[in-house]
Each structure stands twice: as structure tokens, then as C-alpha cells.
Amino acid sequence: MDFYDILYVESYAEYIKIHLKDRFLVVRESISNFESKLPENQFIRFHRSFIGNLLAIDSYTHEYLEIGGKALTISRSYIEEVLKRL
């Protein structure tokens, strides 16, 4: 799996769901641990349950990122960093 194939990562307790362009993978790992393996310049944490690929963001507002046709909520604690990087 290439990092460019990842659209976003979603947390489910001790599992993560890695959303790819054409499928998804479920892995037993914490989202924080997985985040530490990703290139910082390509990915952004925008919610305690979501990490997005900056190259896959279709559009954004102050409340949502649209990735792969899905509107994902940006949490208040991450909004400042997200807007700075976008």
C-alpha cells in the first residue's frame, strides 16, 4: 500500500479503518500509532477520530473537509492547525 492511495483514516476504538481510493482496510492499531508512521507533510489530523491525506482533500470549510465525496467534521481542537496548513 502506497501512502498516496490513502484518502483518510478513521478510528474505531482499538481498530482503524483505512479508506483507500477503491477499498478500505481494517487494522488493529491505534490511530495515534498509525499517525506516527505517516509522512507529516502529506497527512493531517483534523479530528481525534480522523487523519486525512492533504492531496485527497476535494474542498473544505471551517467545519468540514470533503474527501472522496464524504464530508468529515473538523473538530474545534484541530481547526486552527488545519486552516494554517490548508
> What's the rounded Cα separation, in Å, for the pair 31 and 13?
9
Q: Does the pLDDT value for residue 1 go beyond 80?
A: no
> What's the rounded Cα separation, in Å, for the pair 64 and 71?
6
pTM to 2 decimal places: 0.93
* pLDDT value at residue 41: 94
In this predicted model, what pLDDT tens digit does every residue of 24-37 receive, in sequence order?
999 999 999 999 99
Q: Which structural domain range is residue 73 located in?
A: 3-85
Residue 74 burial (CB count, 10 A): 22
* Count of domains observed in the chain: 1
Q: How confident is the model at residue 2 (pLDDT cuts 50, 70, 90)?
A: confident
> What's the rounded Cα separation, in Å, for the pair 5 and 37?
15
CATH at residue 78: 2.40.50.1020
